[in-house]
Amino acid sequence: MTVCFAVKLTSLRVGAGLTNIQLAERADVPCSLIAGLQSGKRRIGELQARRIGLALGLHGTQFEDFIFEAINQCSEKVLFESRHYPAEVLNAWAKVLRGAGIMPEQVRCAKLTGNEVTLALVNGTKVKLEAKLEVV
């Protein structure tokens, strides 16, 4: 996923006629972040992704897709940090999605906001899942 986002960011930047420095200045982010993202060596959160997307002149669906893809590239880090949880815990959402008929190849990207996960599917549909934690 990181390589795809890196290629997309580079393509959008070049298409907008911006240098790394110009994009960084417009987005109010370090130039090293832009270079790191384009090389696939850096990751970003939603705030910086929004800044860069706006600096690229993105809007509407294209803007939201850019945000989703930027955030989704961080999944590898999250999986690594979650590796000590039992497999049953990590697989719970996958089981819920499969039960609803949503297969892995249908999910383009995901965004976590609080206790809610929004999935963007390849057909353009968005699906929201909400988690409720209750100590019993």
Mind listing the pLDDT tens digit for each residue in 2-58? 457 888 999 999 999 999 999 999 999 999 999 999 988 888 888 899 999 999 999
71 and 91 housed in the same domain: no
- The span from the CA of 133 to the CA of 136, in Å, is 10
Asked whether residue 136 is domain-assigned, the answer is no
Report pTM: 0.61
Q: Where are the beta strands (DSSP E) in 1-136?
A: 107-113, 116-121, 126-130
38 and 90 housed in the same domain: no
Q: Which helix (H) or strand (E) holds 93?
A: helix 87-99
In this prediction, residue 76 carries a pLDDT of: 60
pLDDT band at 1 (very low <50, low <70, confident <90, very high): very low
Which 3 state secondary structure label does DSSP give 49?
Answer: helix
In this prediction, residue 113 carries a pLDDT of: 79
Asked whether residue 135 is domain-assigned, the answer is no
Planar angle of CA 78, 123, 61, nearest 5 degrees: 75
CATH of the domain at 57: 1.10.260.40
**How many domains does the structure of the chain reveal?**
2
Asked whether residue 31 is domain-assigned, the answer is yes
pLDDT band at 121 (very low <50, low <70, confident <90, very high): confident
- The span from the CA of 108 to the CA of 124, in Å, is 9
6 and 72 housed in the same domain: yes
Query: Which residues form the domain of 114?
Result: 85-130
15 and 66 housed in the same domain: yes
- The span from the CA of 58 to the CA of 90, in Å, is 34
Residue 118 has pLDDT above 80, yes or no: yes
Could you say which of 36, 58, 76 is where a domain stops? 76
8 and 69 housed in the same domain: yes
